[in-house]
Amino acid sequence: MADEATLAEHGAETGAGMPQLDFSTFPNQIFWLLVTLVVIYFILSRIALPRIGAVLAERAGTITNDVAAAEEMKARAVAAEAAYEKALADARAEANRIIAETKAGIQGELDIELKKADAEIAARTAESEKAIAAIRDSAVENVLSVARDTAEALVTALGANVDAAAVATAVSARMKGDA
Amino acid sequence: MFHPLDQFIVKPLFGEGPIAWYTPTNVTLWMSIAVLCIFLLLVVGSRGRAIVPTRVQSVGELIYGFVYKMVEDVTGHEGVKYFPYIMTLFLFILFANFLGLLPMSFTTTSHIAVTAVLGFGVFFAVTILGFVLNGPAFLAMFWMKEAPLVLRPVIAIIEVISYFVRPVSHSIRLAGNIMAGHAVIKVFAGFAAITLISPVSILAITAIYGLEVLVAGIQAYVFTILTCVYLKDALHPHH
């Protein structure tokens, strides 16, 4: 009931009963509003906004720098990879070259050695053939003389006169015929 | 029982008696709480100046970026130097609206005296700025070069009227929205005393409170973006 009394009192004061239309409070509200706005404006323009603006700018700068650094590192990585690939290719080419060179060198030496060996073999063969020929000649000579002697002995044993020359001719003819 | 409009009464903080212009009242109290909150959020919250922000700092940065982008998008590059003023308006209205949603609090933006100062302040500032920057060419804003010549005087009259209605709609929109929501919540709170309908009433209070949270943010945004639009007219009157 007391509330209603104050309400009625207020209603009488404000007319329409809306505190919003109680003009006696307007100077107070406007004064404090202006004070508030000025205080907020100074807090913002002197401290808060420059500080936050600086932080945001700094962050943007940091991000840009980091992205740039990352780009640079990536470029360096790509360059390093390219250099590695190139070194690998060079090394492979060098290895191939060395292999070819060595092969050629070995082949040359081998050829020379083979030729030398062939020549030696040929020389030895020729020598051996000569020796064999000599041995065979001497063998034939020996056979001839043994055959002659044997023929003379046979003829003698049979009691005929030995004509050495005729025997030798006959034996030689026989040897030739057999050969 | 209480009256739904009792919450809007301006009372002296200390004692009784008439309210002079300097008397500390609940207006003073809740405006200073708004200032304190703004200080805590934007100054204390950003004291670390961290590259990787704390939660409070990132909320402050979010609001900064939001308003900055709004000013830049609407008014163009020349408007950026008025950013601190617009930020002041936005933060004051935002915090007054949200603080008003606390139970037992006083909503400073529900008073037409407050919003009219804001609305007419913007109106006079923008009009004076328009004349200072453009001289009499500022009046070209009312003279539509694209319209047929016959229609131009008619359009000019309509444009002038709408220009002068701006501060009224600007301030009444804010105070009206806030006041209506708070009054409706109190009306439902009155019904909550009646046993039979109190569950419905409490549900309705909850729903309207949710709506009012939305309205508190949206009205701050609307007031700010309209300020930016008016500022754009002062900076570029030719379109």
B43 touches chain A (CB under 8 A): yes
Which residues have a Cβ under 8 Å from the Cβ of B19 and sit 6 or more positions away? A24, A25, A28, B10, B12, B25
Q: Which of residues 98-137 of B touch A (CB under 8 A)?
A: 108, 110-114, 117-118
Residues with pLDDT less than 70, chain A:
1-16, 177-179
pLDDT band at B115 (very low <50, low <70, confident <90, very high): very high
Flag whether B140 is in a domain.
yes
B179 chain-A contacts, CB cut-off 8 A: 20
**DSSP H helical segments within A43-163, as ranges?**
49-157
Flag whether B95 is in a domain.
yes
Flag whether B1 is in a domain.
no
Q: What pLDDT, on the 0 to 100 scale, is given for residue B239?
A: 61
Averaged pLDDT score across all residues of chain B = 93
Instruction: Kindly list the distances between the CA atom of residue A45 and the CA atoms of A124, A164, B63, B105, in Å, as whole numbers in the listed order.
Output: 115, 157, 15, 28
Domain that holds residue B68: 6-235
Distance to chain A for B2, nearest Cα, Å: 7
Flag whether B62 is in a domain.
yes
> Would you call B114 helix, strand, or coil by DSSP?
helix
Q: What pLDDT, on the 0 to 100 scale, is given for residue A14?
A: 43
Q: What pLDDT, on the 0 to 100 scale, is given for residue A5?
A: 44
Q: What pLDDT, on the 0 to 100 scale, is given for residue A149?
A: 86
Note whether B21 contacts A58, CB cutoff 8 Å: no
Flag whether B106 is in a domain.
yes
Flag whether B118 is in a domain.
yes
- How many domains are there within chain B? 1
Which residues have a Cβ under 8 Å from the Cβ of A174 and sit 6 or more positions away? A147
Instruction: Kindly list the distances between the CA atom of residue B203 and the CA atoms of A52, B104, B188, B198, B200, in Å, as whole numbers in the listed order.
Output: 41, 19, 9, 8, 5
Note whether B20 contacts A45, CB cutoff 8 Å: no
Q: Which of residues 50-69 of B touch A (CB under 8 A)?
A: 50-51, 53, 57, 60-61, 64-65
- Bridge partners of B107, per DSSP, are none
User: What does the pLDDT look like over B139-163, one tens digit per residue?
Assistant: 888 888 888 888 889 999 999 999 9
A126 touches chain B (CB under 8 A): no
What residue has token string 């708070």? Answer: B182
Say how far apart CA A138 and CA A135 lie, in whole Å: 5
Q: What pLDDT, on the 0 to 100 scale, is given for residue A143?
A: 87
B20 touches chain A (CB under 8 A): yes
The structure tokens listed for A146 are 């043994």
Q: What pLDDT, on the 0 to 100 scale, is given for residue A1?
A: 38
Q: Is the predicted ipTM greater than 0.90, yes or no?
A: yes
A65 chain-B contacts, CB cut-off 8 A: none
Say how far apart CA A19 and CA A35 lie, in whole Å: 22
Say how far apart CA B189 and CA B7 lie, in whole Å: 12
Flag whether B138 is in a domain.
yes
Q: What pLDDT, on the 0 to 100 scale, is given for residue B210?
A: 96
State whether the Cα torsion A90-A95-A96-A100 is positive or negative: positive
What residue has token string 């030398």? Answer: A116
A80 touches chain B (CB under 8 A): no
Q: What pLDDT, on the 0 to 100 scale, is given for residue A16?
A: 52
Q: Which of residues 177-236 of B touch A (CB under 8 A)?
A: 179
Say how far apart CA B167 and CA B163 lie, in whole Å: 8
Note whether B113 contacts A3, CB cutoff 8 Å: no
Distance to chain B for A35, nearest Cα, Å: 9
Q: State which amino acid sits at residue B36.
A: L
Q: Which of A83-97, B2-16, B176-190, B194-208 has the lowest mean pLDDT?
A: B2-16
Q: Which of residues 29-68 of A touch B (CB under 8 A)?
A: 29-37, 39-41, 43-45, 47-49, 51-56, 58-59, 62
Note whether B53 contacts A55, CB cutoff 8 Å: yes
Which residues have a Cβ under 8 Å from the Cβ of A114 and sit 6 or more positions away? none
Question: For residue B5, what is the DSSP state?
Answer: T
